[in-house]
């Protein structure tokens, strides 16, 4: 009899603090797909902000902490392309001169997947049908797209699982202007970029905007909410798990 | 130390540090094997494949960049084809013909020589035409002055079908066979154009506004 | 026209650019003008990826033997009767050019577009000694009239609208008899053609750049669409080529390999209008061409780039694809970057050439979205090279105190899981309370850069995911 694969869920610091619903959706989807999910409490931040700021020493400490926290799982899954990209692509770069940790980083990289591509490519799972009678448009987050090749997987899952209609915006793969610390270091430029993106999204007429990376989604949702745009923003996992029934990220919950 | 030696020295210091066994001579005769091999074997890279007939492709590619093409049977038809084009397009002004084409019995008012800068039209032969890119290739000599390719408003080029080559790299072979004493080799792919005002293409920036090819099938 | 470095005021430059309505209109042309055309051109070449890989390998081979290929190129140019000059700095390059022009008794110089020429501030140096440089590329000519530096490496006047060009011609061409304001593009192009034709005719020296130097033959490859480079090379008595040392390739076959990538990446053309190979002065029997031919090989920190982690940048052949696809460039345009090279390639090169201290914003003003690397025909990993500059800014403590403190604080907390849990629970509780009515916070002092233009989403939960999940888990296990 097949043993259920164990998945260490790295929930990411943004989901942990800003949108737990995505974490619960991830757990639900992974369990639906037959995985045994564990959420290690030693996890904090993957180190991406430090790495992208050029603070290599700090990023290595956080990487070691993460590698240790996720030892022993068959898979490590993250509901974020950019954090998954950090583990898969950048941890090995961080330890280029340290054979012991390089081997560990390589081992982790081999077991690590972004949630939606894990469900689609690795588990090739059929999820329980979800009624979501909305027209949505999709933002491809840059790191997931370009570091991990995530493009068709979320669309495939949405089409096979839900009743939503996808209305693609122009330039789905153009950056939304989040860029981690970029958006607070260069707020004016970031604002222009997010406005361009929201204008393309709005041109579709879709009332729902989906994506796979909470950083981008907070940026898009935070700006849409400030501008009063009638756009509900969700992580794709929330829709797939049937947990996208509220007002969306930055929206007013109707309780 | 000269600037030359300082620049080369810095490159060599870095390269030797990476590969201590690397020789670092300052003479052109001491190239490493990889360099002299590449220079002598001249490896050809992946060429874009096409199944079209080269002449058909050439014409299609030329027309896609606003060149016009007339096909004629033999070299005897060139004179009429050129004259017809000049008349039908209403190209006023002087015509200068490259000395390489002086054997054709041009009308008397056509001038043979290099560009004066005042002619409206030039008529020149070419070294080759390239199906891959839709280019005509000119090699400068006393009989084929390069300025005729650039100064006149209208440029008429006589291409023999036997000159049609498949790829740009085939031109290199031909240039080497000709022992390449040419100062300039110009690939021209359509009339002069610019996109410098609002990224919108306009024809006729500095070079010819019209390019017409007379393509000769036979000898 | 001189190129003052203003990269240190990047934020201010960018803020002004964002408010500049004509600039924003002009930048809108990038998408149709470059991005879509490039995509269409590449789709017609199924071999694209292979050609790209071969180009990277070829250029890596050149860099591993750059000294030898430069020696070979020099030897071949001399065999063609040309002169080779070596310049360690951009100032040296400028001086060499001024000297050649003075010896030629030059009054006017016809210039083709050259970014290395911008590095060396050739125009300023010539003007200082009373020689008039005339830019002949239409875009360069427009900005020369406007007394501005280029804002893009292949479309120097991309920031100008048609109306602005019309104004400039009206102002500067009255001396040539222009009385009416020209309103359509075709007539603007014709007007420039007419005026510049005279300049070509009278120029004593032509100065151009070069796209590639062919070591085998001593020729250089020059690519233009207008034909101005060829007129600048063929008409004046003296021709000077100014070029960076990294532009050398071994053979003609290697030049055609790169040519297949260059035009498609730059403008979406399968081949540029004029692709010319030139080498040396007029040959015996030639009726045209220059009497003297000079090449100025410029280092200007390229050997430093070579001997650094940024060596891969020397594969760059200046197609501008990274610039066209950069969303930050698309928002602020080229002048905000404050020096010769804008966009992603500029944010790697500029700090290396003019110093990271003066340009510390450039490597950071990037979302690391990776589109530049994706389109780079030479497969230069631009985001990872930018990150290397970021590491240097971190090590040299060049970033603002505020962002360094924030990062240090974050890292210290994140490496203590227990403390991290407690603090994040506290933060979530506070935020949720603040956002309890709207689902977001409109203003928050510590993250004002965020809340200036965005609401900050709050979770609606009183706990972090991990606390909540762990609590649920414990409940279900104990029941």
Which chains are within 8 Å of B by 3+ CB pairs? Answer: C
Residue A195 placed within a domain: yes
- Sheet strands side by side (includes B128-130): B164-165, B128-130, B135-139, B184-188, C274-278, C219-224, C212-214, C248-249
Whether B6 has its CB under 8 Å from any CB of chain C: the answer is yes
Cα–Cα distance list, C200 to B71, C101, C121, C192, C206 (Å)? 35, 16, 21, 12, 9
Q: What is the mean pLDDT of chain A?
A: 95
**Which residues of chain C carry a pLDDT beneath 50?**
1-2
Which chains are within 8 Å of A by 3+ CB pairs? Answer: C
Q: What is the mean pLDDT of chain B?
A: 94
pLDDT score for A253:
61
Please list every residue in chain A whose beta carbon sits closer than 8 Å to the beta carbon of residue C367.
142, 175, 177-180, 182, 190, 193
CA distance B95 to chain C (A): 17
Which of B2, B47, B185 has its CB closest to that of C276? B185
In this structure, the answer to whether residues A116 and A10 fall within a common structural domain is: yes
Whether C68 has its CB under 8 Å from any CB of chain B: the answer is yes
Rounded to an integer, the average pLDDT of A102-124 is 98
On the question of pLDDT at A120 being above 50, the answer is yes
Contacts of A99 (CB under 8 A, 6+ apart): none
Looking at A205-219, B140-154, C434-448, which range is the least confident one?
C434-448
Whether B32 has its CB under 8 Å from any CB of chain C: the answer is yes
Partner C, chain B 81-110, Cβ-Cβ below 8 Å: none
Please list every residue in chain A whose beta carbon sits closer than 8 Å to the beta carbon of residue C390.
52-54
Whether A15 has its CB under 8 Å from any CB of chain C: the answer is yes
CB pairs under 8 A between A and C: 216
A217, A249 in Cβ contact below 8 A?
Answer: yes
In this structure, the answer to whether residues A205 and A174 fall within a common structural domain is: yes
- Residue A8: beta bridge partners? A38, A76
pLDDT score for B219:
64
In this structure, the answer to whether residues A69 and A113 fall within a common structural domain is: yes
Sequence-ordered strand ranges (E) for C260-335: 274-278, 292-298
C126, C109 in Cβ contact below 8 A?
Answer: yes
Enter the tokens of residue C66: 């750059």
In this structure, the answer to whether residues A151 and A97 fall within a common structural domain is: no
Alpha carbons C22 and C124: distance in angstroms, whole number: 27
Residue A246 placed within a domain: no
Rounded to an integer, the average pLDDT of A223-236 is 96
Nearest CA in chain C to A183: C450
pLDDT score for A44:
95
Whether C420 has its CB under 8 Å from any CB of chain A: the answer is yes
Mutate to test the interface with C, among A21, A23, A53 (most CBs of C within 10 A): A53
Alpha carbons B55 and B167: distance in angstroms, whole number: 12
Enter the tokens of residue C410: 């974050």
A73, A8 in Cβ contact below 8 A?
Answer: yes
Residue B76 placed within a domain: yes
Enter the tokens of residue A138: 């999709």
Alpha carbons A41 and C424: distance in angstroms, whole number: 13
Nearest CA in chain B to C74: B28
Contacts of C19 (CB under 8 A, 6+ apart): none
In this structure, the answer to whether residues B64 and B17 fall within a common structural domain is: no
Residue B154 placed within a domain: yes
Query: CATH number for the domain including B85?
Result: 3.40.50.10420
Alpha carbons within 13 A on the beta-carbon side of C129: 18
In this structure, the answer to whether residues B29 and B72 fall within a common structural domain is: no
pLDDT score for C3:
61
B67, B134 in Cβ contact below 8 A?
Answer: yes
Is residue C392 classed as helix, strand or coil in its secondary structure?
helix
What does DSSP assign to residue A89?
I
Residue B135 host element (H or E): strand B135-139
Q: Which of A72, A97, A122 lies at the terminal end of a domain, its last residue?
A: A122
CB within 8 Å: C415 and A185: no
CB within 8 Å: B146 and C26: no
Which of B48, B193, B198 has its CB closest to that of C45? B48
Taken as a whole, chain A contains a residue count of 255
Report the complex ipTM.
0.96
Please list every residue in chain C whose beta carbon sits closer than 8 Å to the beta carbon of residue B14.
303, 306-307
Enter the tokens of residue A141: 């987050």
Could you tell me whether strands C238-244 and C132-135 are parallel, antiparallel, or unpaired per DSSP bridges?
Answer: unpaired
Sequence-ordered strand ranges (E) for C47-155: 83-87, 108-111, 132-135
Residue A248 placed within a domain: no
Q: What is the pLDDT of residues A131-168, one digit of tens each?
A: 999 999 999 999 999 999 999 999 999 999 999 999 99
In this structure, the answer to whether residues A147 and A114 fall within a common structural domain is: no
Contacts of C402 (CB under 8 A, 6+ apart): none
- Number of structural domains found in chain B: 2
For A36, phi then psi, to 5°, come to -95, 115
For C14, phi then psi, to 5°, come to -65, -40
Q: pLDDT class for A246, splitting at 50, 70, 90?
A: confident
Q: What is the pLDDT of residues A23-44, one digit of tens each?
A: 999 999 999 999 999 999 999 9
Q: CATH 3.40.50.10420: which residues of chain C?
A: 45-303
Residue B159 host element (H or E): strand B154-160
CB within 8 Å: C216 and B42: yes
Alpha carbons A108 and A104: distance in angstroms, whole number: 6
Partner A, chain C 90-119, Cβ-Cβ below 8 Å: none
pLDDT score for A255:
40
* Three-class HEC string of B6-66: HHHHHHHHHHHHHCCCCCCCCCHHHCCHHHHHHHHHCCCCCCCCCCCCHHHHHHHHHHHCC
Enter the tokens of residue C135: 């830019």
Angle, CA of B58, B64 and B66, to the nearest 5°? 105
In this structure, the answer to whether residues B123 and B211 fall within a common structural domain is: yes
Percent of chain A scored above 70 by pLDDT? 98
Whether A5 has its CB under 8 Å from any CB of chain C: the answer is no
Do chains C and B touch, with touching meaning 3 or more CB–CB pairs less than 8 Å apart? yes
In this structure, the answer to whether residues B66 and B138 fall within a common structural domain is: yes
Residue A253 placed within a domain: no
Nearest to C224 by CA among C345, C383, C111: C111
Please list every residue in chain C whose beta carbon sits closer than 8 Å to the beta carbon of residue B197.
138, 142, 157, 160, 162, 165, 185, 188-189
- Number of structural domains found in chain A: 2
On the question of pLDDT at A2 being above 70, the answer is no
For A214, phi then psi, to 5°, come to -65, -30
In this structure, the answer to whether residues B30 and B61 fall within a common structural domain is: no
Q: Which of A122, A147, A163 lies at the terminal end of a domain, its last residue?
A: A122
Please list every residue in chain B whose beta carbon sits closer than 8 Å to the beta carbon of residue C151.
none
Cα–Cα distance list, C210 to A1, A254, C227, C244, C273 (Å)? 68, 65, 14, 9, 15
Alpha carbons C433 and C444: distance in angstroms, whole number: 13
Residue C424 host element (H or E): helix C417-434
In this structure, the answer to whether residues A176 and A212 fall within a common structural domain is: yes
CA distance B86 to chain C (A): 22
Q: Which residue has the higher pLDDT, C449 or A70?
A: A70
Please list every residue in chain C whose beta carbon sits closer than 8 Å to the beta carbon of residue B151.
231
Alpha carbons C1 and C148: distance in angstroms, whole number: 5
In this structure, the answer to whether residues B29 and B114 fall within a common structural domain is: no
CB within 8 Å: C54 and B45: yes
Interhelix angle for B33-41 vs C48-64, to 10°? 130
Which of A179, A184, A196 has its CB closest to that of C449? A184
Residue B119 placed within a domain: yes
Please list every residue in chain C whose beta carbon sits closer than 8 Å to the beta carbon of residue A22.
465
Could you tell me whether strands A135-138 and A208-211 are parallel, antiparallel, or unpaired per DSSP bridges?
Answer: parallel
CB within 8 Å: A51 and C387: yes
CA distance C223 to chain A (A): 30
For C111, phi then psi, to 5°, come to -110, 130
Nearest CA in chain A to C468: A20
In this structure, the answer to whether residues A154 and A179 fall within a common structural domain is: yes
CB within 8 Å: B145 and C287: yes
pLDDT score for A254:
47
Alpha carbons B144 and B155: distance in angstroms, whole number: 13
CB within 8 Å: A21 and C459: yes
Nearest CA in chain C to A49: C407
Is residue C61 classed as helix, strand or coil in its secondary structure?
helix
Contacts of C430 (CB under 8 A, 6+ apart): none
Domain that residue A171 falls in = 135-240
Q: Residues of C273-295 as b/e, b for ≥16 C-beta within 10 angstroms? A: bbbbbbbbbbbeebbbbbebbbb
In this structure, the answer to whether residues B173 and B112 fall within a common structural domain is: yes
Contacts of B22 (CB under 8 A, 6+ apart): B15, B16, B32
In this structure, the answer to whether residues A156 and A83 fall within a common structural domain is: no
In this structure, the answer to whether residues B7 and B62 fall within a common structural domain is: no
Q: Which of A56, A89, A122 lies at the terminal end of a domain, its last residue?
A: A122
pLDDT score for C436:
86
Residue A130 placed within a domain: no
Mutate to test the interface with C, among B120, B195, B201, B211 (most CBs of C within 10 A): B195
Nearest to C61 by CA among B15, B13, B173, B176: B15
CB within 8 Å: B39 and C156: no
Domain that residue B10 falls in = 3-41
On the question of pLDDT at B178 being above 90, the answer is no
pLDDT score for B29:
83
Contacts of C214 (CB under 8 A, 6+ apart): C73, C76, C220, C221, C248, C249, C250, C251, C252, C254, C255, C277, C279
Whether C58 has its CB under 8 Å from any CB of chain B: the answer is yes
Return the CATH superfamily for domain C45-303: NagB/RpiA/CoA transferase-like (3.40.50.10420)
Which of A39, A61, A247 has its CB closest to that of C466? A39
């Amino acid at each position: 009899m097949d043993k259920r694969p164990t998945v260490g869920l790295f929930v990411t610091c943004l989901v942990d603090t800003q949108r737990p619903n995505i974490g619960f959706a991830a757990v639900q989807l992974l369990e639906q797909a037959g995985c045994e999910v564990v959420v290690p409490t030693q996890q904090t931040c993957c180190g991406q902000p430090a790495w992208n700021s050029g603070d290599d020493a700090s990023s290595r400490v956080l990487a070691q902490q993460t590698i240790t926290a996720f030892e022993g799982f068959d898979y490590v899954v993250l509901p974020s392309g950019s954090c998954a990209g950090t583990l898969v692509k950048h941890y090995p770069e961080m330890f280029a001169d340290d054979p012991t940790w390089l081997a560990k980083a390589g081992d982790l990289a081999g077991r690590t997947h972004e949630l939606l591509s894990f469900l689609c490519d690795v588990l090739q799972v059929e999820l329980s049908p979800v009624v979501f009678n909305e027209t949505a448009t999709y933002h491809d987050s840059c790191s997931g797209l370009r570091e991990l090749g995530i493009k068709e997987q979320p669309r495939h899952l949405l089409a096979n699982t839900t009743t939503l209609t996808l209305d693609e915006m122009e330039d789905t793969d153009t950056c939304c202007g989040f860029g981690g610390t970029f958006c607070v270091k260069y707020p004016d430029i970031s604002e222009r970029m997010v406005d361009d993106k929201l204008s393309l999204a709005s041109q579709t007429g879709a009332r729902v905007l989906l994506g796979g990376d909470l950083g981008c989604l907070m940026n898009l949702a935070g700006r849409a909410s400030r501008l009063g745009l009638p756009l509900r923003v969700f992580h794709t996992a929330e829709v797939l798990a049937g947990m996208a029934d509220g007002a969306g990220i930055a929206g007013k919950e109707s309780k | 130390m000269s600037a030359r030696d300082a620049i080369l020295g810095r490159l060599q210091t870095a390269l030797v540090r990476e590969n201590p066994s690397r020789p670092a001579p300052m003479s052109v005769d001491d190239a490493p094997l990889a360099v002299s091999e590449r220079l002598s074997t001249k490896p050809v890279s992946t060429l874009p494949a096409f199944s079209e007939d080269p002449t058909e492709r050439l014409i299609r590619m030329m027309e896609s960049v606003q060149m016009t093409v007339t096909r004629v049977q033999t070299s005897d038809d060139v004179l009429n084809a050129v004259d017809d084009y000049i008349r039908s397009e209403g190209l006023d002004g002087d015509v200068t013909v490259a000395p390489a084409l002086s054997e054709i019995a041009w009308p008397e008012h056509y001038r043979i020589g290099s560009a004066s800068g005042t002619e409206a039209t030039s008529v020149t032969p070419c070294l080759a035409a390239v199906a891959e890119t839709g280019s005509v290739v000119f090699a400068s000599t006393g009989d084929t002055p390069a300025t005729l390719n650039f100064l006149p408003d209208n440029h008429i080029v006589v291409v023999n079908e036997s000159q049609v080559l498949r790829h740009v790299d085939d031109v290199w072979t031909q240039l080497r066979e000709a022992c390449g004493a040419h100062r300039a080799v110009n690939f021209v792919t359509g009339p002069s154009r610019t996109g410098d005002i609002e990224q919108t293409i306009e024809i006729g920036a500095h070079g010819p506004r019209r390019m017409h090819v007379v393509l000769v099938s036979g000898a | 026209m001189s190129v003052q470095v203003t990269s240190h005021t990047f934020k201010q430059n960018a803020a002004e650019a964002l408010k500049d309505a004509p600039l924003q209109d002009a930048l809108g042309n990038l998408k149709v003008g470059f991005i879509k055309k490039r995509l269409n051109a590449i789709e017609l070449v199924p071999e694209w990826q292979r050609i790209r890989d071969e180009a990277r390998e070829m250029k890596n081979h050149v860099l591993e033997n750059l000294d030898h290929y430069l020696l070979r190129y020099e030897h071949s140019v001399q065999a063609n009767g040309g002169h080779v000059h070596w310049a360690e700095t951009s100032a040296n390059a400028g001086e060499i050019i001024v000297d050649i022009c003075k010896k030629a008794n030059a009054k006017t110089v016809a210039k083709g577009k050259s970014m290395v020429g911008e590095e060396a501030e050739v125009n300023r140096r010539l003007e200082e000694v009373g020689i008039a440089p005339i830019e002949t590329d239409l875009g360069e000519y427009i900005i020369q009239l406007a007394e501005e530096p280029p804002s893009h490496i292949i479309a120097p006047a991309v920031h100008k609208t048609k109306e602005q060009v019309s104004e400039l011609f009206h102002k500067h061409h009255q001396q040539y008899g222009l009385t009416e304001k020209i309103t359509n593009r075709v007539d603007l192009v014709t007007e420039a053609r007419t005026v510049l034709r005279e300049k070509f005719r009278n120029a004593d020296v032509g100065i151009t750049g070069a796209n590639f130097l062919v070591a085998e033959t001593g020729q250089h490859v020059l690519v233009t669409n207008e034909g101005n480079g060829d007129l600048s090379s063929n008409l004046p008595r003296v021709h000077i080529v100014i070029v960076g040392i990294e532009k050398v390739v071994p053979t003609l076959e290697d030049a055609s390999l790169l040519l297949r990538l260059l035009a498609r990446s730059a403008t979406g053309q399968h081949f540029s209008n004029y692709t010319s190979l030139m080498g040396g002065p007029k040959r015996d029997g030639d009726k045209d061409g220059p009497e003297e031919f000079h090449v100025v090989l410029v280092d200007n920190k390229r050997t430093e780039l070579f001997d650094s982690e940024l060596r891969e940048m020397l594969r760059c052949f200046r197609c501008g694809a990274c610039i066209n696809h950069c969303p930050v460039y698309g928002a602020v345009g080229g002048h905000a970057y404050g020096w010769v090279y804008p966009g992603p390639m500029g944010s790697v090169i500029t700090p290396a050439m003019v110093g990271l201290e003066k340009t510390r914003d450039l490597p950071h003003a990037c979302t690391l979205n990776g589109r530049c690397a994706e389109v780079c025909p030479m497969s230069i990993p631009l985001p990872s090279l930018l990150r290397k500059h970021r590491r240097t800014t971190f090590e040299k403590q060049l970033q603002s105190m505020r962002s360094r403190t924030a990062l240090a604080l974050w890292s210290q907390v994140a490496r203590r899981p227990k403390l991290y849990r407690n603090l994040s629970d506290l933060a979530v509780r506070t935020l949720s309370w603040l956002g309890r009515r709207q689902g977001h916070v409109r203003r928050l002092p510590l993250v004002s850069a965020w809340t200036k233009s965005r609401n900050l989403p709050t979770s609606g939960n009183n706990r972090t995911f991990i606390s909540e999940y762990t609590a649920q888990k414990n409940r279900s296990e104990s029941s």
